Amino acid sequence: MDDKSKQKILCVLYEDSGKYPPEYSRETIPVLPHYPDGQTMPSPRSIDFTPGHLLGSVSGELGLRRFVTDLGHELIVTSDKDGPGSKFERELPSADIVISQPFWPAYLTAERIARSPNLKLAITAGIGSDHVDLQSAIDANITVCEVTWCNSISVAEHAVMQMLALVRDYIPQYQWVVKGGWNIADAVSRSYDIEGMNVGVVAAGRIGLAVLKRMKPFDVKLHYFDRHRLAPAVEEELGLTFHENVESLVSVCDVVSIHCPLHPETEHMFNDELISKMKRGSYIVNTARGKICDRDAIVRALESGHLAGYAGDVWFPQPAPNDHPWRAMPNHAMTPHTSGTSLSAQARYAAGVREILECWFDGRPIRDEYLIVQGGGLAGAGAHSYTEGNVTAGSADASRYKNRSG
């Protein structure tokens, strides 16, 4: 392979655990035949990893090392992504391909794209490409892809878990056990049944619809808002109430679960004004993107008691600075963006990344479902879900995070 055909792949993954590889609690994971709508699973020619192993951290390398290097390409893997002296900043100007994850995003801002003349492909190992300035990618004719469906059910399961954790006030109850107490009155003083409540989702795409399906057996009243209305048969089967706008939905729901992508139309959607239209004592679960909610408006609503709880695992920026107010706000049940990177999901998004790379190196078309930007415009799944523009402003604050574990 000559130098002209050799490509430099810059892969940004989250930090390793204290022990890599870890001791796995299960030897296998279920093999799924297809996604719920019939879409086939990622289908690379082969894989060089064990499904169920930790692939999303630096040492896991998404199982790509042998595949990439055997083809004569260069693979650089790092977790050092933020700040002007980061390895990502140093290596990006000569990179042809960037791979990143929503959980530890390498923000491809307009400035970074302008300094990267070789960059032709940006792959999201997961779902959600808002860490890329899509407008700049369009203008620079960069192809942007993500592995659609790979962790949708993973996120839906996490959202349902967090709904129940909030309404039943699980975390304080667990903490009483850890403290050695048996303080039942304290433990249940904010605990309710979700049965009979009004539960709504903002956006009923793959994740939102999966949440609605999983919540139906809890005997709740289900609502949704989406710019693409579901088929009448689906609404009837699940007993759904459709709302023409998000204001209508939040005014009647006790629990609101957010599942829309982040783009200029949804940035800071949940601000003081919208939250004021919610019932006093309602709950928000946000497993979509942190920037869909106004950071300080959420804190104010929790401190005033207007919101009874807030849960989710998405922040802005990511990783969240150590002094991010969501870490210390009352009545929250936050996680560090883990919903879509379970060991089960990692096997799917690693295989999907390899499938995309195989297509790219072979000059074959990439699945339409994986495309976000191509040919100077929104394409595939991107044309359905995103609007043109940029939502990466403020991402530089991720450099203020310092790992304090251990």
d(CA 69, CA 61): 12
Q: Which residue has the tokens 């035949």?
A: 33
State the number of CA atoms in the 13 A half-sphere of 220 facing the CB.
Answer: 27
Q: What is the pLDDT of residue 17?
A: 84
pTM of full prediction above 0.85: yes
Q: What is the pLDDT of residue 4?
A: 52
Cβ atoms < 10 Å from Cβ of 91: 18
Backbone conformation region of residue 281, classed left if phi is above 0, alpha if psi is from -120 to 50, else beta: left
Comparing CA positions, the residue from 264, 270, 228, 267 lying closest to residue 246 is: 270
Q: What is the pLDDT of residue 64?
A: 98
**CA distances from residue 297 to 55, 256, 274, 291, 300 in whole angstroms, order as listed:** 36, 16, 10, 12, 5
Q: What is the pLDDT of residue 51?
A: 97
Active-site positions read 151, 289, 318, 337
DSSP state of 140: T
Comparing CA positions, the residue from 128, 164, 103 lying closest to residue 339 is: 103
Write the single-letter amino acid at 17: S
Write the single-letter amino acid at 36: P
State the number of CA atoms in the 13 A half-sphere of 376 facing the CB.
Answer: 1
Helices 170-178 and 152-167: crossing angle in degrees, nearest 10, is 70
Q: What is the pLDDT of residue 406?
A: 46
Residues 6+ apart with CB under 8 A from 123: 97, 98, 99, 100, 144, 145, 146, 353, 356, 357
Burial class (CB in 10 A: 0-12, 13-18, 19+), 402: exposed
Strand-pairing partners, residue 76, are 10
3 state SS of 357: helix
All domains in the chain, ordered by first residue: 8-150+341-400 (3.40.50.720), 152-334 (3.40.50.720)
Could you tell me the two tokens for 323?
Answer: 């002094």
Q: Which residue has the tokens 């129940």?
A: 164
Burial class (CB in 10 A: 0-12, 13-18, 19+), 127: buried
Longest dimension (CA), the chain: 72
Residue pLDDT tens, the chain, 406 long: 345 589 999 999 999 988 888 899 999 999 999 999 999 999 999 999 999 999 999 999 999 999 999 999 999 999 999 998 999 999 999 999 999 999 999 999 999 999 999 999 999 999 999 999 999 999 999 999 999 999 999 999 999 999 999 999 999 999 999 999 999 999 999 999 999 999 999 999 999 999 999 999 999 999 999 999 999 999 999 999 999 999 999 999 999 999 999 999 999 999 999 999 999 999 999 999 999 999 999 999 999 999 999 999 999 999 999 999 999 999 999 999 999 999 999 999 999 999 999 999 999 999 999 999 999 999 999 999 898 999 999 899 888 888 876 4
Q: What is the pLDDT of residue 2?
A: 43
Q: What is the pLDDT of residue 1?
A: 39
Could you tell me the two tokens for 59?
Answer: 């040492």
Could you tell me the two tokens for 82?
Answer: 């933020």
